[in-house]
Amino acid sequence: MTEEILEPDLPIIDPHHHLWDLRPLLPSFPEPRHDFLEAIAGASYYTFDALHADTHSGHKVVGTVFMECGAFYDAGRDEAMKPVGEVEFVNGVAAQGASGLYGDYRPCAAIVGHADLTLGDAVRPVVEALVAAGNGRFKGIRHAAAWDADPEVLGPPFHAPEGLYGSDAFRAGFAAYAEYGLSFDAWLLEPQLGDVLDLAKAFPDQQIVLDHCGTPLGIASYCGRLHERFDTWRRSIHAIAECPNVAVKLGGLAMAFCGLPAEGPAKGMGSEHLAGLWRPYVETCIEAFGADRAMFESNYPVDRWGASYPVLWNAFKRLASGHSADEKHALFAGTAARIYDIEHLLSTG
């Protein structure tokens, strides 16, 4: 679907996207494929050129934050150190953008990688290797904890154990990691939101970013239950927002897991329709956290399930239409720039 770009001069820092080559992996997943795999199959190769095309499709994206996704791990390193390869790869993409050949646009200006925090204190050399590989761009890690008792919710790509964030091994690694002054992105599902709340309370000085509005579920055994579970989700969001060390990403709602929209990939819904679907979740998050602790995210290419890149950001701009200029600045760029330590990007935005 093609739409006129709304507020084309509003600077955007996209704080959450991936880069990968999934083509060698897709044949290994069992049939029938989970809806998540169907959603990303059309974007199984998503690196600089694809990201550049999307971020230059009309909106003023001045920079981006790469989010770990298990891509390009270094097969020559031991298991704990393999994720360093992902940061090395992404740092090369960032250097490509920093060359100036593509204007003031800075892709992957911040890099969020992965380290296995269940290593406990032994995670330290991994973190230090990630920092070195990022060449000043490495800003934090994500250790996803998404789990559900219904195996159909997540499917084969995800293998986090139940209660990861509360386990002794994880907490030991988190305590060691907290000493580095880096950010931590948390991805888990709506029924697990109490785990993020407990983690944030246990480590009040650690910056935590809750991904994807806390991932409300509308898939598998949760299909048709978004309305039924909304109040539970909202209470959890307000409780987490009481922790000043937590920020929230406004997006990810176009993932197959959420069912917003229920049909995908890319069924051509316009930004007005998508904004209507997402409004209860986005408005609740902004109300709870405030604009200075909330940031719109593309979650691309995963959210291709529901929207093209320009339509996605048009939907976000519709959702933010009632906010002040300062609040819009925070929601679209300022919060991400501050939390991921890339405020220099806004001097050109």
Instruction: Give tens-digit pLDDT for 135-162.
Output: 999 999 999 999 999 999 998 778 899 9
User: What confidence score (pLDDT) does residue 256 get?
Assistant: 86
Beta-ladder partners of 111: 66, 138
CATH superfamily of 11-347: Metal-dependent hydrolases (3.20.20.140)
Q: What is the pLDDT of residues 95-108, one digit of tens each?
A: 999 999 999 999 99
Integer CA distances (angstroms), 131 to 2, 108, 126, 339, in order: 40, 14, 9, 17
More confident site: 265 or 105? 105
Unique residue bearing structure tokens 């929601």: 331
User: What confidence score (pLDDT) does residue 47 get?
Assistant: 95
User: What confidence score (pLDDT) does residue 35 get?
Assistant: 72
- Other CB atoms within a 10 A radius of the CB of residue 118 amount to 18
Percent of the chain with pLDDT over 90: 85
Q: For 52, which DSSP code?
A: H
Phi/psi for 80 (5° steps) reads -65, -30
What is the rounded CA–CA span in Å between residue 203 and residue 205? Answer: 6
Q: For 302, which DSSP code?
A: G
217-236 average pLDDT score: 96
CB of 199 closer than 8 Å to CB of 174:
yes
What is the rounded CA–CA span in Å between residue 269 and residue 241? Answer: 31
User: What confidence score (pLDDT) does residue 267 get?
Assistant: 67
No. of helices (H) and no. of strands (E), the chain: 11, 10
**Amino acid code (one letter) for 320:** A
Q: What is the pLDDT of residues 301-341, one digit of tens each?
A: 999 888 899 999 999 999 999 999 999 999 999 999 999 99
Integer CA distances (angstroms), 197 to 77, 215, 235, 290, in order: 34, 15, 11, 17
The rounded mean pLDDT for the chain is: 94
Unique residue bearing structure tokens 């250097």: 95
Strands 45-46 and 20-21: antiparallel
User: What confidence score (pLDDT) does residue 40 get?
Assistant: 72
Interaxial angle between packed helices 309-319 and 271-289, expressed in degrees from 0 to 180 and rounded to the nearest 10: 50
Integer CA distances (angstroms), 69 to 66, 115, 187, 313, 329, in order: 9, 12, 12, 22, 28
Q: What is the pLDDT of residues 105-141, one digit of tens each?
A: 999 999 999 999 999 999 999 999 999 999 999 999 9
User: What confidence score (pLDDT) does residue 349 get?
Assistant: 43
49-74 average pLDDT score: 97
Two tokens, residue 203: 């480590």
Peptide bond into 301 cis (omega under 30): yes
Beta-ladder partners of 61: 12
231-250 average pLDDT score: 98
What is the rounded CA–CA span in Å between residue 222 and residue 70? Answer: 27
Contacts of 148 (CB under 8 A, 6+ apart): 154, 189, 191, 217
Check whether 16 has a pLDDT greater than 50.
Answer: yes
- Other CB atoms within a 10 A radius of the CB of residue 173 amount to 24
Say which range, 23-32, 73-82, 179-188, 321-330, has the weakest mean pLDDT: 23-32
Beta-ladder partners of 186: 210
**Amino acid code (one letter) for 283:** E
Two tokens, residue 112: 């969020």
Question: Could you tell me the end-to-end alpha-carbon distance of the chain, in angstroms, rounded to an integer?
Answer: 27
User: What confidence score (pLDDT) does residue 34 get?
Assistant: 75
Unique residue bearing structure tokens 């593509």: 102
**Burial label, 346 (beta-carbon count in 10 A; 0-12, 13-18, 19+):** middle
Q: For 27, which DSSP code?
A: G
